[in-house]
A and B are shown apart, each in its own frame.
Chain A
Amino acid sequence: GAVVSQHPSRVICKSGTSVKIECRSLDFQATTMFWYRQFPKQSLMLMATSNEGSKATYEQGVEKDKFLINHASLTLSTLTVTSAHPEDSSFYICSAADRESGNTIYFGEGSWLTVV
C-alpha cells in the first residue's frame, strides 16, 4: 500500500516551547490530509482536515491557534503544537487520502509527544 511518513516518531519538549510534526505522502499526492490525536486505549480523535493551499478545517473544541496546521504542498502537511503544556502530551497521527486509488486513506506511524 501507499506510504505516509511521519516525523519525528518521538519528541520530548519543555513546557512553553513549540513542536513541529511533519507528515509526508511518499508515493502519492494528497490534496487532503487529516490530523488525529489518540489517547491510550482510546480511538482516534479527528483534530483537523488539511487541504493543500488552503486553511485547515478544525473540529469543534480544537484550538486552531494552538495546533497550527500547514499544508504547503501535495505531499507535506505539518502540525505545530505551540506553547506546549503537559496536557498536550499525546500520540498524534496523520493520514492522507490517495485520490488515485479512490481516496483510500493511509495513516502515518504516529508521533509521540511528551511535554515536560
Chain B
Amino acid sequence: QQQVKQSPQSLIVQKGGISIINCAYENTAFDYFPWYQQFPGKGPALLIAIRPDVSEKKEGRFTISFNKSAKQFSLHIMDSQPGDSATYFCAASTYGNTPLVFGKGTRLSVIA
C-alpha cells in the first residue's frame, strides 16, 4: 500500500511557466513534508519542506501548498527554467528519527 501518491509521473512545461506537482498521503500521523530534487546520477537534494501548522511556504521560486483536511500537498515552481529539469520527489514522515516515505517521483522537463 503506497502511503504517498505523487502525480503526474512526468511533466513538460514551457520556460517561464508554472510547474505543479501534487502529492497525497494517507497516514494522518505524518507531520513533515519535504520535497527533494534529483538530477541523474546524483543524490536527492532537499528543496523545501513544510510542517502541518502552516498552509503555505515559499522559498524563492518554489512554493509548497498544504491542505491538511484533504491530506494533500503540492509543489509549485514559478518561472520554470530549463535548469529545473530534474526528478522531483515528495516525501512524508512523522516527527523523530523515522524514515521518509517517498512518492514515486515526477520527471520534469522545462523546454525553451
Binding site for B on A (CB under 8 A): 1, 4, 6, 31-32, 34, 41-44, 46, 49, 51, 91, 93, 95, 97, 99, 102-110, 112
Contacts and interface: CB of A to CB of B under 8 A. Distances in A.
A43 to B, nearest CB: 5
Contacts of B43: 4, 6, 93, 107-110
A44 B41 contact: no
B38 to A, nearest CB: 9
Contacts of B96: 103
Nearest to B96: A103
Interface residues of B, number: 22
Nearest to A51: B97
Interface in B39-66: 41-46, 49
Interface of B: 32, 34, 36, 41-46, 49, 89, 93, 95-97, 99-100, 102-105, 107
Q: Is the interface of A mostly helix, strand, loop or mixed?
A: strand
A93 to B, nearest CB: 5
Contacts of B97: 31-32, 49, 51, 97, 99, 103
Nearest to B104: A43
B46 A34 contact: no
A44 B49 contact: no
B102 A104 contact: no
- When A and B form their complex, which 8 residue pairs have the shortest distance between CB atoms, in order from nearest? A32-B97, A107-B43, A110-B43, A109-B43, A107-B44, A43-B104, A43-B102, A34-B99
B44 A93 contact: yes
A5 B42 CA distance: 12
Contact of B99 (A46, A93, A110): A46
A107 B99 contact: no
